[in-house]
């Protein structure tokens, strides 16, 4: 995840990805999968959901940044990804207010 | 394309057109915009995210409504099966990336090899899903079944309904991804996709990673939270 900061220019074709780095990311993804399966067998009560989603989000970030290459893309590509994430987050948060009022209020 | 001028990395608003150059020779200008192709692919992926996002929100809403039914229903899903499929998709994402890396390094054979491996992983995923669904259907658990309607509480009916809908829609995407890979394989063989013009393979890769991404969330939500 380091040493590629020089590739922030507009031309994405300057960054030629390497085999080794992608294999490392894959290993990290496999390790996180093992972790989430292990954690699932431990009773964390109400935190189970959040821990599972946290690990899934870390895995998603690795896939989006490295495999999907967004880390090396320009700000336009990044900003529309962020916009999409924000829309989804806002919907989830607003819906959560309604849900928790209905079922726990 | 080989005899015409190609603006590979231009982001300008040039349009395809033709005209007369020096010596009154007709030239045709093919416009190629890799950046635009990729941007369009990302826009499409966002519509996909919102398609699945709606279903995730539905899942979430019913999870809050029926926490205990969700827990009980999730116990019935096979974690090993789900974990194996997770590893299969993660590894297929890696081989897809390696296929693109190989192509950009001009090793066509390696690229084709990794593409075939990726296709194989996709097929493995579908076979696993087939056995998983068969086992559930064998136990009478499928949308509208007598077992679900008459003996299970509402939350479990919703859980399994969403399970079939979301994993089904996801597996459909896996199959579409595999079909796209077949086209990529042919195009690499014919040289239409090559070490300079690899955007089609790159976009196919983006699609495949999205399929992987969705599974990254489906797996814990359906298999692990019990």
Residues B122 and B146 in one domain: yes
DSSP-derived 3-state class of residue B29 = strand
Q: B4 pLDDT band (50/70/90 cuts)?
A: very low
Q: Which two tokens stand for residue B21?
A: 């150059």
B21 and B94 fall within a common domain: no
* Residue keyed to tokens 């607003």: A94
Report pLDDT digits (tens) over B132-148: 999 999 999 999 899 99
Q: Tokens 């890769």 appear where?
A: B205
Measured between CB atoms, which of B11, B46, B83 is closest to A33? B83
Quote the ipTM score. Answer: 0.84
- Contacts B65 to A, Cβ<8 Å: 99, 102-103
The DSSP call for residue A7 is G
| pLDDT given for residue A1 in this prediction | 39
Query: In this complex, which of B43, B61, B224 lies closest to A99 when CB atoms are compared?
Result: B61
Q: What average pLDDT score do residues A87-99 get?
A: 93
Same domain, B12 and B75: no
pLDDT at B32 > cutoff 80: yes
**What six digits make up the tokens of B109?**
């054979």
Cα angle value B200/B178/B2 (rounded, 5°) = 25
- The 10s digit of each residue's pLDDT in A12-30 is 455 667 889 999 999 999 9
**Token code pair at residue A15:** 């960054």
The per-residue pLDDT for B3 is 40
Give percent of chain B with pLDDT exceeding 70. Answer: 88
B29: β partners: B17
Q: What is the CA radius of gyration of chain B?
A: 23
pLDDT at site A105: 61
Count of beta carbons in the 10 Å neighbourhood of residue B134: 10
Give me the residue label for tokens 């090793």.
B107
Task: Extract the tokens encoding A52.
Answer: 């599972």
Range of the domain at B90: 34-224
How many residues would you count in chain B?
A: 226
At A46 the pLDDT is 77
pLDDT for B2: 40
Same domain (yes/no): B27, B39: no
Q: Nearest CB to A60: which of B38, B100, B213?
A: B213
User: Best of B10, B92, B97, B107 to disrupt the A interface by mutation (most A CBs within 10 Å)?
Assistant: B97
Give the mutation candidate from A65, A67, A88 for the B interface (greatest B CB count, under 10 A). Answer: A67
Give the tens place of pLDDT for each residue, B168-222: 999 999 999 999 999 999 999 999 999 999 999 999 999 999 999 999 999 999 9
* Chain B 95-134, residues with CB within 8 Å of chain A CB atoms: 96-98, 100-101, 104-105
Question: From the CA of B212, how many Å to the nearest CA of chain A?
Answer: 8
Of B190, B218, B214, B5, whose CA–CA distance to B108 is shortest? Answer: B190
Asked whether residue B26 falls in the same domain as residue B15, the answer is: yes
Identify which of B90, B165, B164 has the alpha carbon closest to the alpha carbon of residue B124: B90
Q: Provide φ and ψ at B10, rounded to 5°.
A: -90, 140
- Please tell me the predicted confidence (pLDDT) of residue A15: 67
B39 and B148 within one domain = yes
**How many structural domains compose chain B?**
2
> Do B20 and B39 fall within a single domain?
no
Same domain, B108 and B164: yes
Q: Which H helix or E strand runs over A49?
A: helix A47-62
B11 neighbors A50 (Cβ within 8 angstroms): no
pLDDT at B13 over 60: no
Q: Are residues B147 and B78 in the same domain?
A: yes
User: Are residues B188 and B88 part of one domain?
Assistant: yes
Residues B154 and B53 in one domain: yes
A76-85 tens-digit pLDDT: 999 888 988 9
Residue B86 near residue B216 (C-beta atoms within 8 A): yes
Query: Best interface-test mutation with A: which of B38, B209, B224 has the largest number of A CBs within 10 A?
Result: B224
Residue A91 confidence (pLDDT) above 80: yes
My answer on whether B23 and B43 are in the same domain is no
């Amino acid at each position: 995840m380091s040493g590629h900061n020089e590739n922030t220019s507009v031309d994405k074709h300057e960054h030629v990805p390497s085999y080794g780095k992608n294999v490392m990311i894959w290993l990290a993804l496999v390790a996180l999968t093992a972790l989430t399966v292990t954690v699932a067998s431990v009773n964390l009560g109400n935190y189970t959901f959040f821990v599972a989603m946290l690990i899934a989000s870390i895995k998603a970030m690795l896939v989006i940044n490295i495999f999907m290459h967004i880390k090396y893309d320009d700000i336009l590509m990044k900003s529309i990804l962020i916009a999409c994430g924000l829309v989804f987050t806002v919907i989830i948060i607003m819906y959560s207010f309604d849900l928790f009022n209905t079922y726990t209020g | 394309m080989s005899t015409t001028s190609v603006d590979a990395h231009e982001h300008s608003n040039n349009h395809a057109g033709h005209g007369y150059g020096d010596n009154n020779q007709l030239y045709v200008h093919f416009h190629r915009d890799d950046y635009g192709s990729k941007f369009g692919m990302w826009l499409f992926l966002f519509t996909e995210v919102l398609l699945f996002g709606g279903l995730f929100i539905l899942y979430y809403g019913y999870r809050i409504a029926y926490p205990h039914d969700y827990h009980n229903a999730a116990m019935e899903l096979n974690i090993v099966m789900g974990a194996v499929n997770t590893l299969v998709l993660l590894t297929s994402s890696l081989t897809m990336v390696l296929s693109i890396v190989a192509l950009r390094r001009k090793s066509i054979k390696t690229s084709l090899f990794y593409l075939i491996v990726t296709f194989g992983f996709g097929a493995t995923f579908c076979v696993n899903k087939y056995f998983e669904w068969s086992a559930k259907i064998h136990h009478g658990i499928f949308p509208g079944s007598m077992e679900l309607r008459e003996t299970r509480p509402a939350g479990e009916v919703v859980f399994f309904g969403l399970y079939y809908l979301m994993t089904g829609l996801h597996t459909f995407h896996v199959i579409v991804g595999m079909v796209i890979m077949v086209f990529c394989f042919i195009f690499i063989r014919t040289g239409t996709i090559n070490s300079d013009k690899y955007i089609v393979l790159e976009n196919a890769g983006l699609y495949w990673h999205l399929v992987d991404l969705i599974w990254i969330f489906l797996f814990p939500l359906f298999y692990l939270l019990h």
